[in-house]
Amino acid sequence: MAEARVGISGWRYRPWRGVFYPKGLRQADELAYAAERLTSIELNGPFYSLQRPASWHRWRDATPDGFVFAVKGPRFITHLKRLSDIDAPLANFFASGVLDLGTKLGPILWQLPPTLRYDEALLDAFLGRLPRSRADAATLASGHDERMSGRASFSVGADAPLRHAVEVRHPSFESDDWIALLERHHAASVTADTAGRYPRLDRTTADFAYARLHGEEELYASGYDDASLDRWAAWVTAHVEAGRDAYVYFDNDIKVRAPFDAMALIARVPRPGG
């Protein structure tokens, strides 16, 4: 059965304390509190820096059975290296402990910078390097460099497919060639709602769907009213009924809309296992 997973992009935001999080809740307990009310969370920390195994273990253990994380891939790969010369950085990322999430590991999100134009050869090579299973990721991780010495962890556990989703921000990606390339690599095209700032590519290219809701009218700030939430619920339901898992993450965090919008959407769509 296909599942709908709805959550937030990150959970550690100071303005949320006393609004979404109860006053007096320990910062260390915020993830557990959010996970009780949502069905998935996008881990943003790995985008900014390589994490240590202890962090991955802590996130895994703070969430209930059946919970799923999406993981945002490192900006070192997407924004700094710009997808070139990335064999060691990819190995280091998968050696950092991400596989230790076990059954709670969901899709890997790769967000490309707004200045990166569509380049078929570059993107074909990048997508071809991404591991398609946890076993493949562990094999890749075993080639990590010396920066991971003494801190690498990449146990496979039970092998399973590994999913990848790509969010683009340059208008040159609005082409059938890009969609065909994603289909060839079985990677999902992220449907991004960005208040009109970046391309919105609502195309199905894999056996799952992935949406990031950054704000309907104001980027990272504006919320979603009942009519908008109903439209996104219909989007989710259509994918689930077609046999595709659907992942939706709210990133409109500035005015503390994200967690409440996520809970409102969860109430409108099928629950995992329901």
What domains can be seen in the chain, in order of their start residue? Answer: 4-266 (3.20.20.410)
| Single pTM value for the model | 0.96
- pLDDT band with cut points at 50, 70 and 90 for residue 274: low
156 Cβ contact list (under 8 Å, min separation 6): 99, 134, 135, 137, 138
Q: Which residue has the tokens 């993981």?
A: 71
pLDDT tens digits, one per residue of 179-190: 999 999 999 999
- pLDDT band with cut points at 50, 70 and 90 for residue 133: very high
Instruction: Give the pLDDT confidence score for residue 157 in this predicted structure.
Output: 82
**CA distances for 135 relative to 57, 108, 146, angstroms:** 19, 15, 22
- pLDDT band with cut points at 50, 70 and 90 for residue 273: confident
The mean pLDDT of 106-133, rounded to a whole number, is: 98
